[in-house]
Amino acid sequence: MLLRFVTRVLLCVLVLVSAGCSSTGSSPEKALATVQEAKLPAEARQTLRLIDRGGPFPYAKDGTVFGNFEGLLPAEKRGYYREYTVPTPGSRDRGARRIVTGEGGEFYYTDDHYDSFRAVLR
């Protein structure tokens, strides 16, 4: 009887530990979707060229710190990420599209104002 109880407890512990180590969870560290640079809208490719050249940028907010408050990008210290506007044709303001860069050379694209990101493959 005691042996059966101990076996069940150990089995439960094993299941809980393995579930906590699973890479299929919804943590921000899971792999992001990707997009080839060539598949981005023309305006996003132009923004990437401006970033590569160091500007000049058309919007005052371009190059400012992106806080990653949504937690969708890998966790880094404040100031690690910068954001840049990707113009949206016909929009009367900056629109929802952005390129976010990381100090390590990463590039991310969002077309829904930070609800989702795709890593840009260059």
Q: Look up the pTM and report it.
A: 0.75
Q: Which listed CATH number (3.30.70.20, 3.40.50.1100, 3.20.20.60, 3.10.450.30) goes with 32-121?
A: 3.10.450.30
Entry field: residues in the chain = 122
Domain range annotation of the chain: 32-121
The token duo for 24 is 């299929």
In this predicted model, which residue has the larger pLDDT, 62 or 3? Answer: 62
Residue 25 pLDDT > 50, yes or no? no
Place of tokens 């990381």: 102
Sequence-separated contacts (24+) of 102-107 with Cβ below 8 Å: 102/73, 102/76, 103/76, 107/48, 107/51
Confirm whether 83 is a catalytic residue: yes
From the candidates 37, 76, 103, 113, give the one annotated as an active-site residue: 113
36-75 confidence digits (pLDDT tens): 999 999 999 999 999 999 999 999 999 999 999 999 999 9
Mean of the per-residue pLDDT values of the chain: 85
Confirm whether 106 is a catalytic residue: no
